[in-house]
Amino acid sequence: MELLEALYTTRAMRRMQPRDVPDEVIPRLLDAAIRAPSGGGFQNWCFIVIRDAGMKAYLGKLFDGDIVAARAGRYRGLGSVPVGSLARHQAEIFPRLGVPADEGWMLASIVALGYPTGRWAVAPRKPAHEVTFVERFGQRPAWTLSKPLWPNDV
């Protein structure tokens, strides 16, 4: 897939098929994820892959009725959604996952992965000129964009 297509159309995907993500996909996703930059290059992250249905159900309940499901990648048709709101339940979640209490770990996000039932389309967003200043706060750019530039005008 073309990079710009992935950037323009990847949404928080919450409608998922009932099938599991195959085991062999996980290392491929994480091998790409760890290429991200990190402060000072410390790479002070770790990932816990949760396949267990009971643990997924438990995390789903903490989510107050929101649907846990889909943004890590469009890799092999996958959709995802980051669930940042679960970070406030860190104290409850960490012991269940065996995260050491004395090493300073913080729950950044839970990313739910699955195969979407719907189609991808360009994400509606505030236009770039409305959220951009030039040189100084409040100084608008000379350009405006009336519609997304992809796929016709990039």
Ligand X SMILES: Cc1cc2nc3c(=O)[nH]c(=O)nc-3n(C[C@H](O)[C@H](O)[C@H](O)COP(=O)(O)O)c2cc1C
Binding mask 106-125 for ligand X (x = CB under 6 A): ---x-------------x--
Residue of 29, 78, 81, 112 interacting with ligand X (CB under 6 A): 81
Q: How far is the CB of 24 from ligand X (least distance, A)?
A: 27
Q: Which two tokens stand for residue 135?
A: 């040189």
Query: CA–CA distance from 116 to each of 60, 80, 106, 152 (Å)?
Result: 18, 8, 29, 26
Residue of 17, 43, 85, 144 interacting with ligand X (CB under 6 A): 85
Q: Give, rounded to a whole angstrom, the gap between the first and last alpha carbons of the chain.
A: 16
Q: Specify the length of the chain in residues.
A: 154
Which window, 43-51, 79-87, 95-103, 145-153, contacts ligand X (CB under 6 A)? 79-87
Amino acid at 55: M
Binding mask 23-62 for ligand X (x = CB under 6 A): ----------------------------------------
Among the listed residues 55, 49, 66, the one whose alpha carbon sits nearest the alpha carbon of residue 113: 49
Angle between helical axes of 53-62 and 90-97 (0-180°, round to 10):
170
Residue of 78, 83, 93, 111 interacting with ligand X (CB under 6 A): 83
Which chain residues interact with ligand X by CB under 6 A? 11-12, 66, 81-85, 109, 123
